[in-house]
Amino acid sequence: MRRRVNVAPFRPVLAAPWRGLVTAVLLPVLAAPWRGLVTAVLLPVLAAPWRGLVTAVLLPVMAAPR
């Protein structure tokens, strides 16, 4: 049985110009059977005190022209 992925937290990301790439990569990962592992690893990283550094590095990289 396939469960629906809650994309609400990702709406700002999905609304970005490069959402096609993010959606193509991120949604299948989140919908995968092992998404619990991904969530367990990813959410603490995003919630860490140094998430500003992650965001400052990751977003320009993801927003760069392909």
16 within domain boundaries: yes
Number of independent structural domains in the chain: 1
The pLDDT, as a whole number, for residue 39 is 65
Q: Which domain holds residue 32?
A: 8-63
- Rounded to whole angstroms, the Cα distance separating 22 from 66 reads 12
48 within domain boundaries: yes
The pLDDT, as a whole number, for residue 25 is 66
3 within domain boundaries: no
* pLDDT tens-place string over residues 3-62: 676 766 666 655 656 656 666 666 666 666 666 666 666 666 666 666 666 666 676 776
- Rounded to whole angstroms, the Cα distance separating 25 from 62 reads 12
Task: Report pTM.
Answer: 0.22
The pLDDT, as a whole number, for residue 23 is 64
46 within domain boundaries: yes
Whether 14 and 22 have beta carbons less than 8 Å apart is answered as: yes
2 within domain boundaries: no
47 within domain boundaries: yes
